[in-house]
Structure 1
Amino acid sequence: MNSLSRVLRSASALWPYYVAIVILASLSAGLALVNPFILREATDTIVAAVSGETAAASVTQTIIWLAVALFAAEVLSTILNNLGGYYGDVMAARMRQILSTRYFAKLLTLPQRYFDKQITGTVIARLDRSIASVTQFIQSFSNSFLPTLLQVVAVLVITTIYYWPLTLLLAALFPLYMWLTALTSKRWQVWEKEKNEQIDLANGRFSEVIGQVKVTKSFVAEVRELDEFGTRYGKTVEITRPQSRWWHGMDTVRGIAMNVIFLGIYILLFLRTLNGHFTLGDMVMLIQLVNMARQPVFMMSWIVDAAQRAIAGSRDYFKVMEETEEPTANAEIVAATQASGVPALNDDPIAPLPTRDPVVEFDNVCFSYTEGEQVLSNISFRANHGERIALVGESGGGKSTLVNVLLGLYPISDGSVIVCDQDVEDLSAAQLRASVGVVFQEPNLFSGTIRENIAYSKPHATEEEIMDVARRANAHEFISAFPDGYDTVIGERGLRLSGGQKQRVAVARAMLKDAPLLLLDEATSALDNKSERAVQAGLNELMKDRTTIIIAHRLSTIADVDTIITLDAGRVDEIGSPNELAGSGGIYSELLALTASSSEADRERLKQFGFISDEEDPQD
């Protein structure tokens, strides 16, 4: 149980709920001890009357008042139990909000290496398995368990043998209870649907963000995503309040209705014993039996199973929470991973670094994903404001790794990286990524509207700013053709848009960010020629007045760059202008010759570089 106690300690902001539940449970337990004393008084009075010590008529009123006292004690117990249940429900909802928000915050602070080793579905399943199992167990433990059917059947059989009207009274509980439960469930299910919608939206967004965490980090959107996630779970807490009040209010009505029937049972048992129809032992036994028909029976096997699931789940949860954050992670997000409650987050935009030369500089940079397997070796180059640099080389040569390093997704093992005349080592991840715009080969859009996707880099952008970048990205025309225009919902990963349309929205998104350094990671390689021309027009506008590093799969896309850097096995092979490298006999020169050739062997060699000819449609 140490894991479960650790969960309780980690959500220490819920201590008022813990205290309330303990107090209510203590009062309820203490009240339950009153019943035997009342039964003792009733037993003594009845024995005295039966033995002839007192007249039966003289104690009848006393017996009835003792029955009423039992009724009052049970009503109060019902109220206390349901108050405890209410606090237990809200506590569980709050606990799930806190643990889920901390889990999401933790994932947003972890280095890219962690996600390289994870399956997205597993990360998401852990959210449900680890946190839901813990909170459900604690909620059930705080509330109560249902009686078993066999015990109810046994009680009905025995009471029928002793006195069938007693069975009728007990049997009347079931249709009455089921009717009141049906009335309760209709409204409760409406609230439950609303809660599930919020959870589905939160978890769906969670899945998208984790699946595209590179985009979220590159646009410095961790705080916004975490805040939206926590807010949706906060809504489930607000829905739980009236839902739980309704459920436990109606449960109180059901309990009181049941207690009214038991008032009749008590009077019936006492009067039957008083008149000599039952022995004292019969009466005590029947009282115990009818109480068994009412009180919940704890299903110990279920408790053990639920406890095991909760303990295993909490271990998975804390295993993730013990992972080491990336050194430059957002300090506010890191603090959220350790908060005992749901923290208030600051979503103020991070300003990009002022443009200073060199805008980007690599100085003898070395990097390896796995120790001993170097991917980049002594990479050195420099780019000033407004320059365009193309990275060319065979697939696996280190081009995309350079992009990952510039986004701060992986720390370098040696050398230095300068962005806007500042060493990356001296910058936070947020400062670095706010200064780097990026358009990936896969646009990586989210499931909201076109407007929301364009404004992802600047959530508070005006309508004029959004439409301006859409026009410059050659996207305004097709967006306006949709019936809902910029409010068109594009589906998960932009499924309602074509490849060229998605990429132009991604270009507009990067344009709105207005970072001094732009990375184009194979931005048009997956498009047909017509779509490429439309996207390229937007890219040309995006590249104006900023430093651009391009990874291309068509030579036409890098014909106008200032500098080409060819990479061979993670090392710089050549650096020069397109004209200088065209006749050098190096990689770029070879690519020009291969692209002009129509032989099958040359085309296969071209594919090793990840290149396609300008006449070839990549979607064929």
Structure 2
Amino acid sequence: MRSLTRILRFTGSLWKYYAGVVASAMVVAVTSLAVPFVVGRATDLAVAGMRTEGHNVVPIIWLAVGLLALDLVNSVTTNVNGWLGDVMSARMRQILSSRYFSKLLSLPQSWFDEELTGSITSKLSRSITNVTDFAKAFANNFFTLLLTTVAVLVISAWYYWPLTVLLGIIFPVYVWLTALTSRHWQARQQIINEHIDTAGGRFQEVISQIRVVKSFVTERSEQHHFDEHYDRTVGTTREQSTHWHLMDTLRRAVLNVVFFAIYAIIFVQTARGVFSVGVMVMLIQLMAMARQPVQMMSYIIDNAQRAVSGSKDYFEVMETRPSYAPKVTDGSRPTRVSIAEDRPVVSFEDVSFSYDGKDQVLDRVGFTIGRGERVALVGESGGGKSTIVNLLLGLYPPGSGSIEVGGRATSQIPVDELRRSIGVVFQDPSLFSGTIRENIAYGSGSEVTEEQLLEAARKAFADRFVHRFPNGYDTLVGERGIKLSGGQKQRISIARAILKDAPVLVLDEATSALDTKSERWVQAGLESLMAGRTSLIIAHRLSTISSVDRIVTLDQGRIDEIGTPAELAVSGGIYAELLALQAAGSRADRKRLAKFGIRM
């Protein structure tokens, strides 16, 4: 119950709904409990009326009217209770989902490196569904049943205490037998959840990369692995359900025996004249009302177990305390890093970094980038170029050393302020489903005007193809921009960066996946984007590298050389080697160039 209590604390803003549920449940319970008394009294009057001249018709009619009134009030209040439970569970779903999403957005990149997207989604869906289903069942049933049970115990004690003793036995015994089942059920449910999360994660990956799956003809193997996980859930569910229903049979058998004794007592006491016929009818109805919550307990406990299991997954994410928690702003007006005139715009000083804490990706890397300067990073694939970009964006903290932007250490700059100061064009454009307009304006806020958006598209040369679409900028691009070509997607991402208008620009192999014609347009857009900005470029063509102000070459995570293209062309280092390989042009040379991500 600790997990459920935490959910209630987590959703404390719903207290008005909780209070309404309790109040309406009390009314439902009172009106339900009053019915057996009215029926019992009417029964006694009817039996007595058989021996009187007036047959007690008038008081019986009034009792019938009372029954009608009780039923009407009960019906209205039951539906009010149900409405409150439905709205409460919907609001609870909203609160829990919003906080879960907010938590995910606050977690660092390293956390997502260890999780499958599908598993994250699956946990959210299952956790929220289990918790809200229980909340609805709890609101619509539990309070009414609890109040009814307590009242029946008190009333039965008033009329004949052995009935209360028998009821007092069945409730704890039933709960105890259910508790024996609970531990087994939850252990098996955890196994089921793990298989479902793994299968869901793989499902997400396969669907998002369906072209790769089809091109490598791996449909059958993917289907096999997916089915294998769900096959295991069936076997575990069979074991789980067998244990549950065997225990439920035992619980019901105990229930049947106890209620046999209860009804036998009532019938015998009536035959002896201790109870009138009306009291007998009333007690039978009360016992039936007492039996209902016992039988409903199995359903409520089943929902509670699912909620407990789901809430564990939920709070496991909510309680994540990442080792790296970047500084954020206090929510005031968005700002950018102020670039000091007399300081480098970007500075890396003795920066080392490892993703796994063992293998060093960067080893004491140091370089600076001045205002308006274009600097290219060159090195073999896996040499640390993209890692430098990740560290600059604050996605990971450096293991040692310092990184400064505008003369301030990135560790002291709120991460949202830092990232507003850096425009990025990735190798993968990473568009969102929606319109071209929405993708260009993404991250720039609602204050962006139509003129600014169109100007950014023009500078990125995106307007040249957008106008060919019937819906223009309102054209839907599909998931990840699947309806657009690679060059079109990249030009939209360049327009997005132009509209952001950040003082620092990072180009992470922005044209490496394009054909020659598309690359020409994209390169033209990049020239517009880089104008007047400080740029860090991971380039894949020597023509691009040769036009920068300085080159930083990396060799296995270490700085090899830093200098102008002219200086490094005759230094005998990596850049000079690349130029020589390009001039030679043999197959072996092209293979060597490919290791640096360089295309001829």
TM-score (norm 2): 0.73
Aligned partner of 1:380 among 366, 384, 405: 366
CA distance in 1, matches of 2:282, 2:36: 13
Q: Quote the residue 2:87 is aligned against.
A: 90
Letter in 1 for 2:408: Q
Offset of 1:579 from its aligned partner?
1.3
Deviations 1:44-87 (A, max 9, x none): 2123223x2x33x3402221221221121011011111111111
2:304 matched residue in structure 1? 307
Matched AA of 2:529: L
Aligned with 2:488 (options 484, 501, 506): 501
Match of 1:558 among 522, 540, 545: 545
- Alignment match of 1:577 (pick from 560, 564, 569): 564
Structure 2 CA distance for partners of 1:23 and 1:90, relative to 1, 3 Å: same
Residue 600 of structure 1: aligned partner: 587
Residues 273-328 of structure 1, C-alpha deviation per residue, up to 9 Å, x if partnerless? xxxxxx95999499959x99xx9996555433322221111000000011125522
What does residue range 198-347 of structure 1 map to in structure 2 within 5 Å? 280=277, 284=281, 300-324=297-321, 326-330=324-328
CA distance in 2, matches of 1:137, 1:446: 35
Q: How many Å separate the matches in 1 of 2:297 and 2:598?
A: 65
Partners in 2 of 1:381 and 1:533 — Cα distance? 30
Q: Percent identity between the aligned chains?
A: 56
The CA deviation at 1:506 is 0.3
In the alignment, the residues of structure 1 paired with residue 444 and residue 35 of structure 2 have an alpha-carbon distance, to the nearest angstrom, of 65
Of the candidates 115, 127, 138, which is equivalent to residue 130 of structure 1?
A: 127
| Aligned pairs (5 A) from 1:445-594 | 445-459=431-445, 460-594=447-581
Judged with a 3 Å threshold, the aligned counterparts in structure 2 of structure 1 residues 544 and 410 are, in CA distance, closer, same or farther, namely same
Q: Output one character per residue of 1:367-387: Cα deviation in whole Å (capped at 9) or x when no partner.
A: 111223221111111111111
SS at match of 2:320: coil
The answer to whether 1:433 aligns with 2:431 is no
| Aligned amino acid, residue 328 of structure 1 | P
Q: Work out whether 1:49 is the aligned partner of 2:62.
A: no
CA-to-aligned-CA distance 1:177-202 (integer Å, 9 cap, x gap): xxxxxxxxxxxxxxxxxxxxxxxxxx
Residue identity opposite 1:39 in structure 2? V
**Does the CA-based 8 Å contact 1:380-1:572 persist in structure 2?**
yes
Q: Which of 87, 102, 112 is the aligned partner of 1:115?
A: 112
* Cα separation, 1, equivalents of 2:335 and 2:384: 29
1:10 is matched with which residue? 10
Return the structure number with greater relative CO, CA threshold 8 A, min gap 6: 1
Counterpart of 1:30 in structure 2 is: 30
| 1:351–1:331 CA distance, 2 compared to 1 (3 A) | closer
Question: After alignment, is 58-67 or 83-92 more displaced?
Answer: 58-67
Give 1:504 deviation, angstroms: 0.4
The residue that corresponds to 1:20 in the other structure is 20
**Residue 359 (str. 1) matches residue 356 (str. 2):** no
Q: Distance in 1 between matches of 2:283 and 2:416?
A: 71
Structure 1 contact 89–139 (Cα < 8 Å) conserved: yes
Q: In the aligned structure 1, how far is the partner of 2:93 from the partner of 2:500?
A: 34
- 1:14 corresponds to which letter in structure 2? L
**SS where residue 306 of structure 1 aligns?**
helix
Give the secondary-structure state (helix, strand or coil) at the position aligned to 2:506.
strand
Contact 2:553 2:559 in 1 (8 A): yes
Provide runs of 4+ in structure 1 moved above 6 Å: none
> Are the equivalent residues in 2 in contact too, given 1:359–1:516 (CA < 8 A)?
no
Q: Secondary structure at the match of 1:457?
A: coil
| Cα distance, 1:527–1:298 mapped onto 2, change above 3 Å | farther
The structural deviation recorded for 1:609 is 1.7
Aligned to 2:140: 143
- Whether the 8 Å contact between 1:355 and 1:516 is mirrored in structure 2 is no
Deviation at 1:105, TM superposition (A): 0.6
Bigger shift: 416-425 or 434-443?
416-425
Unmatched 5+ stretches in structure 1: 146-206, 212-278, 333-345, 614-620
Q: CA deviation at 1:127?
A: 1.3
Return the letter of the residue paired with 1:403: V
CA-atom RMSD in angstroms: 2.6
Q: Paired residues, what number?
A: 465
Equivalent position to 1:59, from 34, 56, 60 = 56
Take 1:375 and 1:62, find their aligned partners in 2: how far apart are those partners? Answer: 92
Matching residue of 2:385: 399
Question: Structure 1 299/430 Cα, relative in aligned 2: closer, same or farther at 3 Å?
Answer: same
